[in-house]
Amino acid sequence: MFKKILVANRGEIALRIIRTCKEMNIKTVAVYSSADADSLHVKFADEAVCIGPPASKDSYLNIQKIMAAVEITNADAIHPGYGFLSENPTFPEICAKYKIKFIGPSAKTMREMGDKTNAKQTMKRIGVPVIPGSDGNLKDIQDAKKVINKIGYPAIIKATAGGGGKGMRIIRNEEEIENAYDTAKQEAKASFSSDELYVEKYIENPHHIEIQIAGDQYGKACHLSERDCSIQRRHQKLLEESPSPFMTDKLRDKMGKVAIKIAKAIKYEGVGTIEFLVDKKRNFYFMEMNTRIQVEHTITEEVIFYDLVKEQIKIAAGEKIKNTAYFPRMHAIQCRINAEDPFKNFMPCPGVITNLHTPGGHGIRVDSHIYAGYTVPIYYDSLISKVIAVAQTRAEAIETMQRALSEYVIDGIKTTIPFHQQLLADENFQSGNITTAFLDSFELKKREPAED
Ligand code: MV4
């Protein structure tokens, strides 16, 4: 087992990783930017190294600075968390050079899954259902027109290096092709410095359902059930739950088997997620694979009672897993609490937290790095807390979450708590009738003036 893990991240996920390391008697090294000097991950770790100024590119994204911190602290492994360098194949490559264990998949796997058309072709080859579309990248606009003619409307153009909705254009008729192609190409180039595009049939109002998987160094793999991540706004997830209200035992069995097939086919090492789009007839299609621990891993941990970070570390250290499937025994919901004003278009609201009361009690878990007096910096993601409610049923998990949010006091900054309160009270949400289009028609009621 590792003696000392360097956590190449910040915020709640850095704390989350440090907590598991403590339980496993593994020493921890925090790295931090000068904006995070007063952060809890710095206080909770056994050692901490400042790796530069606030800007991510000079600190949390700077591989050389992180490797220097590894060298001076003698860490024997690196946990990348999510975001930042977690899906950058250069990071595991450099770790290999320094003989430091990267807790995650190989650079090769990361590269293969990061390229969306390449990933899609791999899936097609091994018999995983994929959305009909171009065979690889588009050569030119003529090629786009030819493919769309074959698959029909609506169609969607996507960036090969994309993900997260950037460089995506929906096409509803022939007149829209040219403009969609040109703007997607520009946006892809600007966002990912690659203007490769592909096209596929557009699936209206799909469900976003993802399967958590784990694979070990010996070719064994398991799945750990699904998460429903359909509640998104501009491709930012706001609330996730497990099991999915749209899931059936039959569909879980089919999707789980496909997810395990993928993990085995690519000899996946570590924990990962297979994202699927599911249409209203419950046809499911591979969308992409995430080769990291995700923000929403918590709900899976609660419904199957498994520490996924511990699993990552054990797999990286060479422990074996079973070829099996794990099923939800509970219902869990996670609300992402962001330092944003939901009444002002989710505008980021960094600043000082003047007063804080964190909820607790039966069925509540809060993963957060905030404290009274903490300043939410302007430089990073606005996620400040994750509230996870666990109960026997979905209806009870909603009630537990509502109770917890009513207790949560975060003064000094605006947060997404009032958004979640309105969402949880919505009849359609409560009925479980949720697709990725849900928030398009969800209207946030204006806050009462008295609450200002
Ligand atoms: C799609 C789609 C419908 N049809 N692809 C959005 C993010 C990117 N990873 C893929 N996305 C989508 N791809 C086809 N062929 C609908 C979406 C989509 C979406 C997917 C998951 C969660 C939320 C979404 C919101 C809007 C669109």
Predicted confidence band at 452 (pLDDT cuts at 50, 70, 90)? very low
pTM above 0.85, yes or no: yes
Give dist(CA 7, CA 34) in Å, integer: 16
Neighbours of 123 (CB within 10 A): 23
Q: Does the active-site annotation cover 336?
A: no
On the 0-12 / 13-18 / 19+ scale of CB atoms within 10 A, 169 is: buried
Phi-psi domain of 235 (left: phi exceeds 0; alpha: psi -120 through 50; beta: other): left
Residue 449's pLDDT is 55
pLDDT on residue 164 = 72
Which CATH class for the 132-201 domain?
Answer: alpha beta
Does the pLDDT value for residue 447 go beyond 90?
no
Amino acid at 234: R
Q: Which part of the chain has CATH 3.30.1490.20? A: 132-201
| pLDDT above 70 coverage of the chain, percent | 99
Q: Whose CA is nearest to atom 14 of ligand 1?
A: 202
Q: What is the tens place of the pLDDT at every residue in 317-360?
A: 999 999 999 999 999 999 999 999 999 999 999 999 999 999 99
Domain 4-103, architecture per CATH: 3-Layer(aba) Sandwich (3.40)
Spatial CB neighbours of 167, under 8 Å, sequence gap ≥ 6? 157, 158, 159, 184, 185, 187, 188, 191, 192, 197
Torsion angle (degrees, nearest 10) of CA 60, 65, 67, 68: -140
CB 34 within 8 A of CB 24: no
Band of residue 391 on the pLDDT scale cut at 50, 70, 90: very high
Q: Which of 111, 227, 292, 365 is catalytic?
A: 292
98 CA → ligand 1 middle, Å: 38
pLDDT tens per residue, range 98-120: 999 999 999 999 999 999 999 99
Provide the pLDDT for residue 448. 56
Whole-number Å distance between alpha carbons of 426 and 275: 26
CA of residue 148 to ligand 1 center, whole Å? 18
Which ligand 1 atom minimizes the distance to the CA of 163?
A: 9
C-alpha pair distances (Å), 308 with each of 16, 263, 294, 304: 11, 16, 10, 10
Amino acid 179: pLDDT: 95
Is the predicted pLDDT of residue 174 greater than 80, yes or no? yes
Question: Is the beta carbon of 336 within 6 A of some atom in ligand 1?
Answer: no
169 lines ligand 1 (CB under 6 A): no
Neighbour count for residue 365 (Cβ, 10 Å):
18
Query: What pLDDT digit, counting tens, does each position of 188-233 carry?
Result: 999 988 999 999 999 999 999 999 999 999 999 999 999 999 999 9
DSSP string, 39-92: -HHHHHSSEEEEEESSSGGGTTT-HHHHHHHHHHHT-SEEE--SSTTTT-THHH
* Ligand 1 atom nearest residue 165's Cα: 7
Delimiting residues of CATH 3.30.470.20 domain(s) in the chain: 207-440
With CA atoms as reference, report the closest residue to 270 among 306, 211, 217, 326: 217
For residue 40, give Cα distances in angstroms to 227, 299, 386: 29, 23, 16
Residue of 148, 156, 435 to test ligand 1 pocket, by largest number of atoms within 8 Å of CB: 156
Strands (E), 160-253: 169-171, 197-201, 207-215, 221-233, 236-242
CATH of domain 207-440: 3.30.470.20
The DSSP 8-state label assigned to residue 325 in this structure reads: B
Give span(s): CATH 3.40.50.20, the chain.
Answer: 4-103
Q: Which residue, by CA, sits nearest to atom 7 of ligand 1? A: 165
